[in-house]
Amino acid sequence: MNYLKTYCNLIRKAEQRGYTKKKAKEQGLYVEGHHTFPVSIFGKNKRIVHLTAREHYIAHSLLEKICIKRYGLNHWKTLKMIKAHISMIGSNNKMERYKNSFLYEKCRIRFSKQNSGSGNPMYGKTQSNELIEYLRNRNFSKETRKKMSIKRKQRVTKQSTKNLVSKSCEKFIYRVLSPTNVEYIITNVRKFCRENNLDCSSMVKVSKEKMKNYKGWYMEKIGEVSTNHTLSYIER
């Protein structure tokens, strides 16, 4: 089966139909916005089409199959689409677990009805003019501003620590040998494994001699990266 062709036909059909949430609602239909080019892979974009709940489920199932077929099971794009598909078949306290597109669509329609009109916790409620004016013009005291500044700095510090941890995988230089005897000198193990459809944790185990090899790949640590080192990987 040509999953890409099926996906394109599904999107093209929805684009020709031209639904928006407002237009669909006027016809008593339920639709969901879907990025034709997934944000997790292509970044933010405005290529959005509105699909029925069943079509949305099928679209994510197809995207997963497309990536598996094109990139393999361990590629980062495939992993992103697997997670997206899993989120479509999850459950919470108001939605039972569903295992196919028909169950998903029925469940989403019920959920939408439960949270529309009187079912919405904010239905019929409005904020007073006094509260709106207060929120619009409120002035924080020096003490409050100081506390807000401290919390902001803590968030920045936390993010900086996170970035340092993510860069720790580039602390060492590794020599990698492929099954076809091509030699690589790398520092960014995660990037290298992602680009070559390799499991990062398995390659690290090989470098620590906990595994002899991984799918014919060998890796050994040969040094540390200096502070001004910019090496990513070199093929020999």
Maximum alpha-carbon separation in the chain: 74
Task: Look at residue 236 in the predicted model and tell me its pLDDT.
Answer: 45
Task: Look at residue 88 in the predicted model and tell me its pLDDT.
Answer: 76
Q: Which of 61-65, 129-133, 222-226 has the highest mean pLDDT?
A: 61-65
Give percent of the chain with pLDDT exceeding 90: 24
Quote the tokens at residue 18.
């031209």
**pLDDT band of 129, cuts 50, 70, 90:** confident
Task: Look at residue 229 in the predicted model and tell me its pLDDT.
Answer: 46
Q: Is the model more confident about 112 or about 98?
A: 112
Could you give the CA distance from residue 21 to residue 79 in angstroms, rounded to a whole number?
30
**Whether residue 187 has pLDDT greater than 90:** no
Residues 86-104: what's their mean pLDDT?
Answer: 61
Distance (Å) of CA 61 to CA 3, 19, 78, 158: 10, 21, 11, 36
Cα atoms in the 13 Å half-sphere on the side-chain side of 137 = 6
What burial class does residue 205 get, using C-beta atoms within 10 Å of its C-beta: 0-12 exposed, 13-18 middle, 19+ buried? Answer: middle
Task: Look at residue 219 in the predicted model and tell me its pLDDT.
Answer: 93
**pLDDT band of 158, cuts 50, 70, 90:** low
Residue ranges per domain, the chain? 3-117, 168-235
Q: Which long-range contacts (CB under 8 A, 24 or more apart) does 75-84 make?
A: 75/194, 75/197, 76/194, 77/41, 80/38, 80/40, 80/41, 81/38, 81/40, 81/41, 83/40, 84/38, 84/40, 84/60
Distance (Å) of CA 73 to CA 70, 185, 197: 9, 25, 8
Residue where the block lists tokens 């094109």: 70
Position 162: which residue type? K
- Torsion sign over Cα 90, 93, 95, 100: positive
Task: Look at residue 66 in the predicted model and tell me its pLDDT.
Answer: 93
Tens of pLDDT, residues 188-221: 888 888 888 898 888 989 998 888 899 999 999 8
Tens of pLDDT, residues 107-128: 677 667 767 777 676 777 787 8
**Whether residue 35 has pLDDT greater than 90:** yes
- Torsion sign over Cα 68, 74, 78, 84: positive
Beta bridge partners of 32: 51
Cβ(174)–Cβ(220) below 8 Å: yes
Task: Look at residue 15 in the predicted model and tell me its pLDDT.
Answer: 93
Which residues contact residue 37 at a Cβ distance below 8 angstroms, ignoring those fewer than 6 apart? 45, 47
**pLDDT band of 170, cuts 50, 70, 90:** low
Residues 20-25: what's their mean pLDDT?
Answer: 90
CATH number, domain 168-235, options 1.20.120.340, 1.10.10.10, 3.40.50.300, 3.60.15.10? 1.10.10.10
Kind and range of the H or E run holding 219: strand 218-224
Task: Look at residue 165 in the predicted model and tell me its pLDDT.
Answer: 45
Q: What is the DSSP letter of 227?
A: T
